[in-house]
Structure 1
Amino acid sequence: MPHQSHPEVRVLHSLRVRGFVDTHLVADASAMEVPEVEEWLVHLESQGDVRYRDGRMSGWMLTTEGRGRGETLLATELEEAGCREGVHSAYQDFLSVNHGFLELCTDWQLRAPTDDPAGEKVINDHSDPDHDAAVIARLAEVDRVVQPISIELATLLHRFDGYGRRFGDALGRVRAGDHDWFTKPMIESYHTVWFELHENFLATLGIPRASEAQAT
């Protein structure tokens, strides 16, 4: 059975990986009911771990203290669940395709001119179906790597459950001709889910993003 995270961990971690979001999105990300999430958010706000920002864009966000509190809880959880080695192994598998995926995103956004294959790349207006088909085929190859990673993670920590489905949904939409679902921000695009999983790995394993960049 995968380890079930404490509600406090799930709420704090959801804000860590999703960023600035409303209550319903916190509930969705943490797999909790909205009333329970509301209670936890009010409690965490009283402790100074989260704050609510109102305005044109409203939502919850972590404070510096909340980020630190979350990191402490995640480290404790990882040791109690006894799955650090398994999560780290999955992370290494993820890193093996991370650079290639980022290059793939660039190739989706830019392409060589049809009349000058060696020329400077231009914005991909998706008027070259052969180029798009080749990039989508490469995305499918990446997906064949990341799906087993997602399955393995879900057997270790329940809060990792759902990544495989979300990747599959995004890939399906791209294959159906909806270009936004490859790299567009603010929706569940393949890149959005990829970035979130990456942040989830870093937060869970306590790896600063800058340290990872230096190591790679």
Structure 2
Amino acid sequence: MPAADPSHASGGAHPSAPGTLVLHGLRLKAFPETDALAIAAGLPVATVAPLLDELAAAGHVRRVEGRVRGWTLTAEGRREGERRLAEELDASGARDAVRADYDAFVALNPELLSLCTDWQVRGEEVNDHTDAGYDRAVVDRLVDLHVRARPLLADLRAHLARFASYPARLRAALERVTEGEREWFTKPTIDSYHTVWFELHEDLLATLGLERAKESET
């Protein structure tokens, strides 16, 4: 199945240029190969591959070989990505709306982090998941948080097309957690709930030109 194209998605939501999606995908994913980056960007590999060549020639991305392999942003590429995101946000006329959604996200974020800790640690010991009642209570709290996050997720996708994947990805992870697949709560190497939530956080910071280290000052 071909990848969906966020540059033409979500009805009236503002589209992203393919080059912006590639740069942004590299901001969100660590050392992806071309096919994985294409999935992350929501673009066909046939579109992404020549874009990577163009961006590499411009000094915005580079190929890493060795024990770790894949594509990554250069410092200039990170700045270029941020410049394009700022232009995109201003062109969409949605800066105030996205900032409000970010503020709503930040209000929920400590609760999500606390939930992840409670999922991994019970009392002062590692959670071995033998207490079904304890795990069920944590999952119920996650379901409640997800319900409260849905309005901001819907609003983001209504304004910027590239945010369209987050509701489905979070819902899919939540469904797997509620069905007993425990790793879909926090496992970092899959699209677990925490993985997608963390990516959404980085996406919002990049979109608004904020730095995670200085977030509490904003």
Q: Given the two structures, how large is their TM-score scaled by the length of structure 2?
A: 0.92
Partner of 2:62, secondary structure, is strand
Deviates more, 1:205-214 or 1:87-96: 205-214
Match of 1:153 in 2: 156
Asked if residue 22 in structure 1 is aligned to residue 42 in structure 2, the reply is no
* Deviation for aligned residue 1:37: 0.2
Q: Residue 58 of structure 1: CA displacement?
A: 1.7
Kindly indicate whether residue 204 of structure 2 is the aligned counterpart of residue 196 of structure 1: no
Structure 1 residue 56: Cα displacement: 3.4
Kindly indicate whether residue 215 of structure 2 is the aligned counterpart of residue 212 of structure 1: yes
SS at match of 2:72: strand
Distance 1:57 1:146 in 2: 35
Percent identity between matched residues is 45
Unaligned stretches of 5+ residues in structure 2: 1-11
Q: Tell me if structure 1 keeps the 8 A contact 2:31–2:68.
A: no
- Taking only aligned residues, the RMSD between alpha carbons, in angstroms, comes to 1.0
Deviation of the 1:214 alpha carbon: 4.3
Structure 2: distance between partners of 1:48 and 1:3? 27
User: What's the CA shift for 1:19?
Assistant: 2.6
Q: Which runs of 5+ in 1 are unaligned?
A: 113-120
Equivalent pairs, count:
207
Q: Which residue does 1:118 correspond to in 2?
A: none
Look up the match of 2:50: 39
CA–CA distance in structure 2, aligned partners of residues 213 and 181 of structure 1: 29
Amino acid at match of 1:160: F
In structure 2, C-alpha distance between the alignment counterparts of 1:211 and 1:108, rounded to whole Å: 27
CA deviations over 1:47-91 (Å, ceiling 9, x no partner)? 111111122332111110100010111111111111101111111
Tell me if structure 1 keeps the 8 A contact 2:16–2:161: yes
Q: CA deviation at 1:8?
A: 1.1
Partner of 1:94: 105
* Residues in 1 aligned to 2:29 and 2:116: alpha-carbon distance in whole angstroms: 20
Larger Rg: 1
Tell me the amino acid that sits aligned with residue 84 of structure 1.
R
Matched with 1:185 is 188
Following the alignment from structure 2 to structure 1, what is the Cα–Cα distance between the partners of residues 206 and 22?
14
- The CA deviation at 1:149 is 1.4
